Amino acid sequence: MRTVLAEDGTLLREGLAALLDRFGFPVVAAVGDAEALVAAVAEHAPGLVVTDIRMPPGFTDEGLRALVRLRRDHPDLPVVALSQYVAPSYASTLLDLGAGVGYLLKDRVGDVREFVAVLHRVAAGETVLDPEVVRTLLKRNPLAGLSGREREVLGLIAQGYSNAGIAESLVVSEGAVNKHVGNIFTKLGLAPGEDRNRRVLAALTYLRG
């Protein structure tokens, strides 16, 4: 899958480009700032974007704002944002973009197998949050109406797990997970509808407490 990579650090950018190329994500452009990222997407029409959040010139959230612009023009473009920081505002902004979004801490890149798996999941239209992001947000925003198990399940939903994946992670039956998910939707006041939309809304409610 053709990929555009944006990272201001030269060594990390080159290392990521080599890693992506090796595992089936050929990098058609590797750039060092947010404006160059937007231009590269316009030029190359990639199937995936991987970008740092804090980019020149201000080193605040230039990469994140670039993703918002890109998804406005390319609603189905899968995007993965990398950061050294756990920031609820980053997670909320990314989840607002819809499906096919990832938010990973840069430390996660060191686990190559997991990193590549996340890229494939995002490219397939899933929404994936770094487990550390979810753990931090859970401490900040417990949802009083949910049981402990329901909060666990909702945390995994926020990470992008399917019901089958949640069952495997928690070592319970998929039927039990389906029941917990139904209870979560009910307690959060999410009316029956398209399941993916309800999962995204549940994750947003969870992150915003």
Q: Are residues 84 and 147 in the same domain?
A: no
Q: Are 145 and 104 members of one domain?
A: no
Q: What is the DSSP letter of 146?
A: S
Quote the pLDDT of residue 187. 78
Q: Kindly state whether residues 79 and 8 are assigned to the same domain.
A: yes
64 and 125 both lie in a single domain: yes
pLDDT in tens, 81-99: 999 888 877 887 888 888 8
Give yes or no: residues 43 and 81 share one domain. Answer: yes
Intervals of the chain under pLDDT 50: none
**pLDDT (0 to 100) of residue 196:** 63
**Same domain as 8, residue 111:** yes
Domain co-membership, 193 together with 120: no
pTM of the model: 0.70
Number of domains in the chain: 2
8 A C-beta contact, residue 87 and residue 203: no
- Looking at the fold, whether 41 and 88 belong to one and the same domain comes out as yes
What was the pLDDT predicted at 203?
78
CATH number of the domain residue 199 falls in: 1.10.10.10
Whether 135 maps to a domain, the answer reads: no
What's residue 108's pLDDT? Answer: 84
pLDDT for residue 202 = 80
Specify whether 150 is located in the same domain as 196.
Answer: yes
Helix intervals (H) in 97-147: 112-123, 131-140
* Domain co-membership, 204 together with 112: no
Same domain for 96 and 122, yes or no, is yes
Same domain, residue pair 149 and 170: yes
**Which one of 105, 130, 155 terminates a domain?**
130
195 assigned to some structural domain: yes
For residue 51, what pLDDT is reported?
97
Last-in-domain residue among 90, 108, 130 = 130
Q: Scan for tokens 């080193």, then name that residue.
A: 59
Q: Which domain holds residue 167?
A: 141-208
CATH number at residue 123: 3.40.50.2300
Length of the chain: 209
**Separation in Å, CA 156 to CA 13, 31, 71, 121:** 30, 33, 24, 14
Rounded Cα–Cα distance for residues 129 and 135 (Å): 10
